[in-house]
Amino acid sequence: MGKYFGTDGFRGEANVDLTVEHAYKVGRFLGHYYGKDHKAKIVIGKDTRRSSYMFEYSLVAGLTASGADAYLLHVTTTPSVSYVVRTEGFDCGIMISASHNPYYDNGIKIINRNGHKLEAEVEELIEAYIDSKEDTIPLATRENIGKTVDYAMGRNRYIGYLISLATRSFEGKRIGLDLANGSATSIAKGVFDALGAKTYVINGEPDGTNINRNCGSTHIEGLQKFVVENNLDVGFAYDGDADRCLAVDEKGNVITGDHILYMCSVYMKERNDLANNTVVTTIMSNMGLYKALDKKGISYEKTKVGDKYVYENMLANGHSIGGEQSGHIIFSKHATTGDGILTSLKIMEVMLESKAKLSELCKDLHIFPQVLENVRVKDKKAATGDPAVCELIERLGKELGNDGRIIVRESGTEPVIRVMAEAKTEELCRNVVEQIINMIKKQGHAK
């Protein structure tokens, strides 16, 4: 990770860690970098945060000042930006979003012409330009100044693409959608309605400050209650920019990314569609997933946390499905990034083609109790490298043995340490996590 760019773009509190000046300089750099031998075309999407408009205008100012043309998708999802970039000949794409973070945070995600997250070496060049005292990039003049284009049609093409992927009509299915008051509000309901579903929406009225607030994939308890009370067949919950999806079965049980990887990979294997008979996961996937995949004769690989690393593995090895427990699921046949709405369509495909309820598709997957807590720290590397903290983690890990595990890692997007424990009982998990967090606090690392 660089000074500004983490595992998922440049993210921080709006006008504190990420300012309009930063956004302007990102735009200036990208317009110049991609426009050296032609007039650059760059497409921009944003989520529903109040600050997203501010950053959109700052990016546009920087891009057009460097001579690039900026195409605006307006409120849309991160995967839609990726789709438009790779299918419509743009030099790169920008998504303004802080994903699942609270409304006062925001971020700039840059997507290259292939629909992948931007290369680290280009991010380093952007960081160097942001910190440079002299502006070495020339300003465009006269007819070379860039223009801004309303490009809502790009988002509409993406909606049409999603609809085309469904294998059956959803007619007769009662489906709940938690739109997290975010990007999915511009797309999801229209897709499900077009496919014939009876669609019920919650958290679909963004006001600029309610994105992710007690809703969406990070607060799924509301959707659980909603599905049961309304006798729905299934519910889907997205995050702020809709690149992740979690589900709720007809009984109100949460279906995590691990459940989704399991049911979809089993379904794909039965249809000879599981490339290399392999699923790509991250180190955060539950031990229960691996045991269930072993029983089905399905192989798996593990990467660092981040759908960026999952996709790099999939691309390098030709795998067809991968993802994270948090709900970033990638189907490489259809997308180059996690796509929450696409994931929900694939879940519907498995349900309809298998003629099974969602709870039935997951009955052979037994999840180990897992507790994950975050602790805000002054310095992430100092906290994880503290000898007393490391010694405690090692001792507790030995005590768990083969019946559990501990993962302590730095967040790539926030000033926090994530402490996770898996074990036979939730009580044991919680005890382990509390001991580690207490040690981090005792050593003076907590904010």
Backbone angles phi, psi at 429, to 5 degrees: -55, -50
Q: Which residues contact 405 (CB under 8 A, 6 or more apart)?
A: 287, 397, 421, 422
List, in order, residues 6 or more apart from 431 with CB less than 8 Å away. Answer: none
Residue positions forming the annotated binding site: 99, 239, 241, 243
Residue 99 is a catalytic residue: yes
Q: Active-site residue among 99, 285, 320, 344?
A: 99
Contacts by 402-410 with C-beta closer than 8 Å and gap 24+?
Answer: 404/287, 404/368, 404/428, 404/429, 404/432, 405/287, 406/432, 406/436, 407/283, 407/284, 408/384, 408/436, 409/305, 409/384, 410/380, 410/381, 410/384
* Tally of CA atoms within 13 A in the half-sphere of 403 that contains its CB: 9
* Dihedral angle sign, alpha carbons of residues 301, 234, 236, 274: positive
Q: Parallel, antiparallel, or unpaired for β 278-282 and 329-331?
A: unpaired
Contact call for residues 242 and 255 (beta carbons, < 8 A): no
Summarize the annotated binding site for Mg(2+) as residue ranges: 99, 239, 241, 243
DSSP designation for 400: H
By annotation, the residues acting in catalysis are: 99
